[in-house]
Amino acid sequence: MKKLNRKVLAASIVGGVFEIYDFIVYGLMAATLAPIFFYSADPFSSLLQSYTAFCVGFFARPLGAIFFGYVGDVWGRKNALFFSAILMSLSTLAFGLLPSYDTIGVWASILVFIIRILQGISVGGEYTGGIIMAVEHSPPERRGAVGSYVVAGYMGGVFLGSLTSFLCTLPFMPSWGWRLPFIFGCLIVGVGVYIRLHVQESPEFKSPKEVSQESFFRDFLKMPQVFLACMGVAGFGGIFLYTLTVYIPSFLKETYSLTNSTMMFIPILVTLCMTTGIVVFGSLSDKWGRLFTMKVGATITTLCVIPLFYLLNSGNFSVGFLALVCIIFCGSIFQGPMNTLVVEVFNPMHRYKSAAISYSLGISLFGGTAPLVATWLTSIMPGPFLLSCYFFLAGLMGLGAVKLIENHFHTRKSQLAASENNLVPSFS
């Protein structure tokens, strides 16, 4: 029986913390950075531009998924993760040193978009790759737990980014204090690079001569619904994560007249709650089955999210925050086993490409646009109604995506039973 490789798991978790920290810190500070890098005569316009730059980073993720997915399947998971970390480190340092709009004019805005594209390419190869590396080194009966631990590591990166952003925007910090989280991020990603140089390659990696690129396209044509379903699964998770951590703090600030420091503290609490839920339900999916757990999460979300959003806007901050915790809990049931599922459904020979591309497309289309869509919806109709409908539709999308995967594998039980992934217990 395959044993859990704790060294690889630790490397995936630590590497994920540092990689996603660099990518997410911009989103957490988007409101602060808007007047620094964009024309600030119209505050709402500059904020929209800042969130648009956040989206652009996500739209670049599929490019990274294609490039690093190829590297990961042909030259090894370890090499792909190493080079993606180097790219993230350099692009984040560039952001920390970038002159403001007042200094170089519109070039500041352009360079923000270029750096976000480079960061997006890096994360496109990193996020799914780290989970693949850990899952492939783990026994099938523990893959749900292992995948959730790695995702918790990424959430730890969001937490670290939230904490650093909070500290660097306190009133006593100098005006250039916003640069510190980016410079710090460049330095700590070096730790992730060092760790990844000292781990074993995945036991399921196939050498270049054994990888057939044609088989990737052949499998895609055979099961396009699985790729689309994985995009939908990622979209559900992206809407929840990035709306709750990036947009909701600004929403609560306006609703309850919070200070900037209090607003920046909210993502810290959100990520702590979400990380706990992801680990709990990811581990439970090893007993309950990945699909069953995710169906429960999506169903609860669709049933509860509209009344919870009205409580979020109740006028009582304590009630609103409790409602926020409940919304996080609903999403975490789905998100716990989500990433392991996306990895498991694909053949190891071209798993890196398949999982990275489908996940990156979903997270880009739905997660990357989430803060922008949420901002637009509340500008059309202030209050919780349209925002709650947005989450309701996300729940329906997640439920439909899981159903597509379930139907696909129910019609191909014989192939599934013969699969190298031994997925039958996970999908029971």
pLDDT tens profile 332-362: 999 999 999 998 888 887 888 888 899 989 9
Domains and CATH numbers, the chain: 6-199+216-418 (1.20.1250.20)
Stretch 26-41: mean pLDDT, rounded?
A: 81
* 257-284 CB burial, b ≥16 within 10 A, e <16: ebeeeebbbbbbbbbbbbbebbbbbbbb
Q: What angle do CA 131, 136, 140 make, to 5 degrees?
A: 105
Q: Which residues, other chains included, contact 204 with Cβ-Cβ below 8 Å and sequence gap of 6+?
A: 136, 348, 351, 420
Question: Rounded CA gap, 399 and 414, in Å?
Answer: 25
DSSP category for residue 419:
S
Which structure tokens are listed for 398? 């997640």
User: Averaging pLDDT over each range in 48-57, 237-246, 259-268, which range is the top one?
Assistant: 237-246
Q: Lowest mean pLDDT: which of 20-29, 381-390, 405-414?
A: 405-414
Stretch 22-28: mean pLDDT, rounded?
A: 76
Question: Rounded CA gap, 13 and 170, in Å?
Answer: 29
Tens digit of each residue's pLDDT (9 = 90 or more) over 317-326: 889 989 999 9
pLDDT band at 281 (very low <50, low <70, confident <90, very high): very high
Residue that wins the pLDDT comparison between 226 and 51: 226
Residue that wins the pLDDT comparison between 97 and 55: 97
pLDDT band at 330 (very low <50, low <70, confident <90, very high): very high
Helix intervals (H) in 137-223: 143-168, 180-196, 213-222
- Beta-carbon-side half-sphere exposure of residue 228 (alpha carbons within 13 Å): 10
Stretch 253-282: mean pLDDT, rounded?
A: 85
| Among candidate residues 59, 240, 248, the one with its CA nearest the CA of residue 162 | 248
- Mean pLDDT, all residues of the chain: 83
Tens digit of each residue's pLDDT (9 = 90 or more) over 157-170: 877 877 887 787 77
